[in-house]
Homo-oligomer: A and B are copies of this chain.
Amino acid sequence: MVIGDARTRILDAAEELFAGGGYDATPTAVIARLAMVPKGLIFHYFPRKIDVLVALVDERTLVEEGRDIDAVPGDPAGTLSRLARGLPLRASPAMRRILFREADTHGSVKERLGRLNGELIRRARFALELALPGARGDLARLEVAAATFAAVLLYQENLCQLTGHQIDPDAVAELIAHSLL
């Protein structure tokens, strides 16, 4: 039995295929076959192929902004570690690959990636502020620490898998926290 309505199945299939072979390398005919819909139906819901990608990015990469940060004053390393485990990106690993891979080709994807990056930095900084009540004296260093942690998280999501090198976010959190004490 087929699961979900046609539009959802199209997006499911596209998500899987875009993450696998990439947007350009995925013909609409293959999306249709995997989604078990006729090819024309894709263009009923998404007038152009790129609109499938845009819809995926719009609907499946929500960056949550209001979520609480589980900060523990005096424990910046643990606070960052917990932040890393609750990445504010509601997206499957497939969607994350899509976000990075298509970012510099497609404007709407790039915009989403920029917002994600900014939110990550913002949250890392806020987490550190909460965990280091006395560190307010050096905001510049806090900013650098936050950006560095965000870099590691995004790097981990993508380049690590790409190149085979692993980074342990917990160890990085500990390193960064140490430098702020």
- Which residues of A are at the interface with B, using a C-beta cutoff of 8 A? 22, 24-25, 97, 101, 103-105, 110, 113-114, 117-118, 121, 140-141, 144-145, 147-148, 151-152, 154-156, 158-159, 162-165, 167-168, 171-172, 174-176, 178-179
Top 7 A-B residue pairs of the complex, sorted by shortest distance between their CB atoms: A179-B179, A114-B163, A151-B155, A117-B163, A178-B179, A144-B171, A24-B24
Is B155 touching A167 in the complex (CB atoms < 8 A)? Answer: no
Is B165 touching A159 in the complex (CB atoms < 8 A)? Answer: no
Contacts of A118 in B (CB 8 A): 163, 165
The answer for the CA separation of A162 and B113 in the assembled complex, in Å, is 8
Judged by DSSP, the binding face of A is helix
Is A148 touching B167 in the complex (CB atoms < 8 A)? Answer: yes
Given contacts A147-B172, A155-B159, A175-B176, 16 further A-B pairs with CB under 8 A are A24-B24, A101-B104, A110-B162, A114-B163, A118-B165, A145-B175, A147-B165, A147-B167, A148-B152, A148-B176, A151-B152, A151-B156, A151-B167, A152-B152, A176-B179, A178-B179
